[in-house]
Structure 1
Amino acid sequence: MSSVSSKDQTEESPQAWSWSKRLTLSLPIFVILIALLSSVSNATAVPWNNDPIDQSIETVDSDTSVKFANPSKVTLAKRGTYSITERHATIDVKQKSTGDTQHIHILIREPKGASGKLPGVVFMHGAGYGTAEDSFGDVASDLSSAGFVSAVIDKPVWNTSDANRDYPASAKAYDQVIDYLRELENVDSSTVGIYATSESTWISSYLLQSDHKVAFQILLSPMVHSPRHSLGFLAAQDFAMVGANPGYQSIVRRLFSADLDLFGLHNLDIDTLKPAAYAIPTFVAYGSKDVMTAQVDGAQTIMKLAHEADNWNVTIRNYPLANHVLRLGDEAQTNTPLVDSYENDMVDWAVGITHDLKQTTQLVTGATIKQSIAVPFDLRSRPTLTVYMLVIHAASLIFILATMLMWIVALVRKTRALIRRDSGHVLGFTHGFGEILVLITGTTLATLVLFFSGLAQVVYAVVKLVWGGAPATAGMIYWSWPVIQIVSTLVVWAWSRVFARLIEVASMRGLLRMPTMALIRGLIGHRQTRAKPPGASKSEVQPVIAYTRFGKALFVNTTIAMFCVLLLFAFWGLFIY
């Protein structure tokens, strides 16, 4: 038998690399990947200026009561002066843009035994889907017991959701109810006002711009600025209050920079800051424990716009211990009472205003009005960021689902082969790529679960806070972010070792000397070699990644899916150190 040259021996029996050579290759791959992901994190970062922080408006008196000069000694009704009767009515309101009609139930409360023409008030719902029966029962009864005809309706929503609520159409619907009250025989059409809470103060702006005959308004925790700025403030402040890591808080900046106009949703940037929205006598009520409303910026904006409309009749009350809906304690619990004296103050103000009396108590009283951070007025829509966010999340979802389906198929094939005792190749991974792929994929997906679990903890703490619960201790809400960052970095290192292993095997097969396209075909395809895999004849081929096409497809698809996950992490800022 003739001897084999050293060159042939090298080709037939390629030597595995040493650990130092593998490390030398893995390091630059790791650096390149980290640099790429860090660049994405920094490119998608949204600047945010929280200054000025810890703003406050000092009130001139802690007493929140409202009193009026009454030189003519007019008899002024108080809360509880009259007993109440209830009756029901129904009107149809049409959404002009779609033509949809909603049958709206109206619950009307009237003071029993009150004579003459009475003032009226229409209640406007905040967020959610309130009905006439389950909303405003206490405050509507309060005003009716003081001589008002009150109307509470099913919230006009048609076929919309919180995301695409039709505010102009809602304003017209409420205005129909105002007109309904004005036409009642026992109502003075010139003294019908509105009671708006939270989200509905965006609607009331549209209403007052079109109906200049509304007599007064009571605003409970008004969301004065645009939804983008108001909700961005809410989320940022509450994330900070529950002790969330600044990394989680940066998610708020990216999220509220979305350009929802691309998806046909136009409510984030509605312009409701109009002088006409505050051109009538206005009573504003805040709670010092409200964690949703920018009270200092809101109060200053209301007074500024009211003065521009030549209205100096703006009364502001800030109640200690009260939450966003002026309740004491956790709003998630039933029968949570309204804060002490609010009901009397609000009723007394409305009675005095509808009698055209001059207020003698100070306009701004109660607890000091405070605000932790500024409203993010520099927040704006970013179309490019939004498109990238959509693409990377859609790609991650598609490839993850495809990968899961392929792994299910792989498991079925493996199980079938074991049952049949088939010793042939099922997936045919070579050079340990099968085991590596399972390990690294599991680690990457576990990190993804960890990320969403940490975010879910923060959201849960914020929701609990918003409903009036005590702020949660920071704990894992703070430390989970750096832990996820460390784990993500380790995952990137693991993937750099996988890519280094691919290059090692390609080098052993002589593929690195080929042109680029031939190299790619060699990595995911087959190449003729004299080396003999176990159970193969000399005429067979030996692959770099796997013997089967399904195995190669599984490897490529899984790698792409996991890289999309890393890009998703990068988008949300996990690679900003």
Structure 2
Amino acid sequence: MVSLPIFIMMIGILTSVSHITTVPWNNEPTNQSVATLTSDTSVSFSNPNQVHLSKKGDYKVKEHHEWFTATQESTGDKQRISMLIREPVGASGKLPAVVFMHGAGYGTSDNSFGDVANDLSSTGFVTVVIDKPVWNTSDLTRDYPASAKAYEQAVQYLREQDNVNPDKVGIYATSESTWISAYLLEQDKKIAFQILLSPMVNSPRHSLGFLAAQDFALVGANPGYQSIVRRLFSTDAALFGLNNIDIDTMKASAYAIPTFVAYGSKDVMTAQVEGTQEILKLAHQAGNWNVTVRNYPVANHVLRLGDEAESGTPLADHYPEDMTNWAVGQVNDLTQTTERVAGETIRQSIAVPTDLHARPTLTIYMIGVHAAALLFMLASIVLSIIALVSKVKCMIKRKGRSLGFAHGFGGILLMITGTTLATLVLFISGLGQVAVGVVKLAWGGAPEPAGMIYWSWPVIQIVSTLVVWAWSRIFGRLFEVASLRGLTKVHQGGKGKELSAEEESMIREQKAKPVLASTRLGRALFVVTAIAMFCILLVFAFWGMFVY
């Protein structure tokens, strides 16, 4: 009679939290596609004046390093950046040039773009690959405007070289750097052309929200884990001083120049259909109709065939030839004769979640409940260590019980705490396995059977519900023992029958007996641990564990 109302109240609170923190998400339309005009990805141009068009491999390539210093204006931090410059041996006159822009990670001039930079240089281009400008930033705090200025320094370096045509300098941007290229093209109107590899067209919040939601589904994660994406990408990052997540990348100036866009059909990170549509729309707004889109079968996010985690993974078939032929045609001001959109049919499984936005209240609650859980868990650990030391001392000195738990509450507390923590470990393990599966998928690996990442969610839901019931039974038992001790009764002095001295003595004796534990340490350990476990349940509720 007591435990059931307590259980209903507790489960009601947790279920309400799960529903209140739910973020609506519309995946429609699903299974979008853009039919290409031909499966042939080759690029060719009308050449009435019979201009010599160099091909990949026409020139040998020589390399040398230069250095410059890039400054992050917001902090004043400086980074000495290496530039690896590749030049075609024997090429005469003023040559076209390309600056390469890094995607995610921490690439250097020596370990990035080696094959594609060599391909372009063997075609007659001077190419520059620089160390990724990162200063003291992380992936979360990356300074995109400052990065754009660092790449601009590399562009200016090329323009100042005697063997480079300053009007024929383009960029090669991949993935994350297509956010940076939007800033670069806004400040430098003289960039001649751009090659975009798997461009992230939408803002980071929308692009990464799409990536996570799609990949969680592809690896077979339970829909419960997918709901975590909605809450996570509704975080108001500005509260932490992080402003990158909502940068404005949808600018017509970002696509105002001749643009070559390359996708891979196995790319699970990029919204290709909506990306293509937005690029064409923005380019046309800027008056640019010179946009070529190619989708390569079997290729992944970085246009490689196979798992990018393995060394030596080759580029997609025909991509190096198509890309270099397009660049040669552009710098010679020729008119393209092949189809603008070609290759494999462009597909996209779900819509980009453009309705995602920062939710300050949700973020503040998230911080509060996670901080409370962490603090009370730390306090519980400290008290547990003190209790363990105290128990060891009592055992050595044979002084009896150090905590003095009554009515078996010590054993019950240990069992329920262990169950709650085991559920937390299962939750973290399941989420970790989802993350590992997404990373492997992103690098071109094949999805593995779902297994734990599917069944762990309903198991955690069931165990969490049982844990709530167990806690309600404990609280009910506490109330029962307190009632037997007379602690829940209010003595009405001066009314009714007066109690005898013997009865008063018995009542005092009953009240003196411990309800929970005979020591302050035992009572403190129980209360703090109970609060910590309830905070963990609130964490589960925040992430949607109690949405049935």
Give the TM-score normalised by structure 1.
0.92
- Alpha carbons 1:87, 1:108 under 8 Å: kept: yes
Residue 429 (1) aligns with residue 400 (2): no
Determine which of 74, 86, 95 is the counterpart of 1:97: 74
Q: What does residue range 232-311 of structure 1 map to in structure 2 within 5 Å?
A: 232-311=209-288
CA offsets 1:363-408 (integer angstroms, 9 cap, x no match): 0000000000000000001000001111111110111111011111
Counterpart of 1:542?
Answer: 513
Residue 468 (1) aligns with residue 444 (2): yes
SS of equivalent to 2:475: helix
CA offsets 1:540-568 (integer angstroms, 9 cap, x no match): 93222111111111111011101101101
What CA distance in whole angstroms lies between the structure 1 residues aligned with 2:160 and 2:378? Answer: 60
Give the residue type in structure 1 aligned to 2:444: G
The runs of 4+ residues in structure 1 deviating greater than 6 Å are none
Deviation at 1:34, TM superposition (A): 0.8
What CA distance in whole angstroms lies between the structure 1 residues aligned with 2:136 and 2:472? Answer: 50
Deviation at 1:501, TM superposition (A): 0.5
SS of equivalent to 1:285: strand
CA offsets 1:202-246 (integer angstroms, 9 cap, x no match): 000000011000000000000000000000000000000011110
- Alpha carbons 1:219, 1:283 under 8 Å: kept: yes
Deviation at 1:478, TM superposition (A): 1.2
Counterpart of 1:383?
Answer: 360
Residue 446 (1) aligns with residue 422 (2): yes
Determine which of 147, 154, 167 is the counterpart of 1:177: 154
- Alpha carbons 1:123, 1:195 under 8 Å: kept: yes
Determine which of 383, 386, 400 is the counterpart of 2:377: 400
- Alpha carbons 2:486, 2:510 under 8 Å: kept: no
Counterpart of 2:65?
Answer: 88
Give the residue type in structure 2 aligned to 1:503: F
What CA distance in whole angstroms lies between the structure 2 residues aligned with 1:64 and 1:227? Answer: 29
What CA distance in whole angstroms lies between the structure 2 residues aligned with 1:50 and 1:167? Answer: 29
Deviation at 1:485, TM superposition (A): 0.3
SS of equivalent to 1:286: strand
Give the residue type in structure 2 aligned to 1:89: E
Determine which of 84, 109, 112 is the counterpart of 2:89: 112
Counterpart of 1:158?
Answer: 135
CA offsets 1:342-381 (integer angstroms, 9 cap, x no match): 0000000000000000000000000000000000000001
Q: What does residue range 10-159 of structure 1 map to in structure 2 within 5 Å?
A: 24-159=1-136
Change (3 A) 1:270 1:540: closer
CA offsets 1:86-139 (integer angstroms, 9 cap, x no match): 111011111111111111100000000000000000000000000000000000
Change (3 A) 1:510 1:210: same
Counterpart of 1:491?
Answer: 467
Counterpart of 2:189?
Answer: 212
Identity %: 68
In structure 2, runs of 5+ residues without a counterpart are 492-503
Residue 565 (1) aligns with residue 541 (2): no
What CA distance in whole angstroms lies between the structure 1 residues aligned with 2:445 and 2:142? Answer: 28
Deviation at 1:191, TM superposition (A): 0.3
Give the residue type in structure 1 aligned to 2:412: I
Give the residue type in structure 1 aligned to 2:536: V
Give the TM-score normalised by structure 2.
0.96
SS of equivalent to 2:25: coil
Counterpart of 2:207?
Answer: 230
What CA distance in whole angstroms lies between the structure 2 residues aligned with 1:478 and 1:58? Answer: 34
Counterpart of 2:501?
Answer: none
- Alpha carbons 2:487, 2:511 under 8 Å: kept: no
Determine which of 324, 341, 359 is the counterpart of 2:336: 359
Residue 530 (1) aligns with residue 506 (2): yes
What CA distance in whole angstroms lies between the structure 1 residues aligned with 2:40 and 2:546? Answer: 51
CA offsets 1:245-287 (integer angstroms, 9 cap, x no match): 1000000000000001000000000001100000000000000
Change (3 A) 1:62 1:539: closer
- Alpha carbons 1:531, 1:542 under 8 Å: kept: no
What CA distance in whole angstroms lies between the structure 2 residues aligned with 1:92 and 1:408? Answer: 52
CA offsets 1:167-213 (integer angstroms, 9 cap, x no match): 00000110111000000000000000000000000000000011000
- Alpha carbons 1:76, 1:352 under 8 Å: kept: yes
SS of equivalent to 2:140: coil
Residue 511 (1) aligns with residue 511 (2): no
Counterpart of 1:555?
Answer: 526
What CA distance in whole angstroms lies between the structure 2 residues aligned with 1:435 and 1:505? Answer: 16
Counterpart of 1:18?
Answer: none
- Alpha carbons 1:296, 1:369 under 8 Å: kept: yes
Deviation at 1:510, TM superposition (A): 1.6
CA offsets 1:297-324 (integer angstroms, 9 cap, x no match): 1000000000000000000000000000
SS of equivalent to 1:390: helix
What CA distance in whole angstroms lies between the structure 2 residues aligned with 1:479 and 1:436? Answer: 28
Residue range with higher mean Cα deviation, 92-101 or 44-53: 92-101
SS of equivalent to 2:295: strand
Counterpart of 1:6?
Answer: none
Give the residue type in structure 2 aligned to 1:548: T
SS of equivalent to 1:543: coil
- Alpha carbons 1:289, 1:321 under 8 Å: kept: yes
SS of equivalent to 1:280: coil
Q: State the aligned residue count.
A: 536
What CA distance in whole angstroms lies between the structure 2 residues aligned with 1:430 and 1:201? Answer: 65
Residue range with higher mean Cα deviation, 538-547 or 206-215: 538-547
SS of equivalent to 2:362: helix
Deviation at 1:529, TM superposition (A): 6.3
User: RMSD across aligned C-alpha pairs, in angstroms?
Assistant: 1.3
CA offsets 1:14-61 (integer angstroms, 9 cap, x no match): xxxxxxxxxx22111111111110000000000000000000000010
Give the residue type in structure 1 aligned to 2:11: I
What CA distance in whole angstroms lies between the structure 2 residues aligned with 1:184 and 1:303? Answer: 34
- Alpha carbons 1:257, 1:380 under 8 Å: kept: yes
Deviation at 1:539, TM superposition (A): 11
SS of equivalent to 1:332: coil
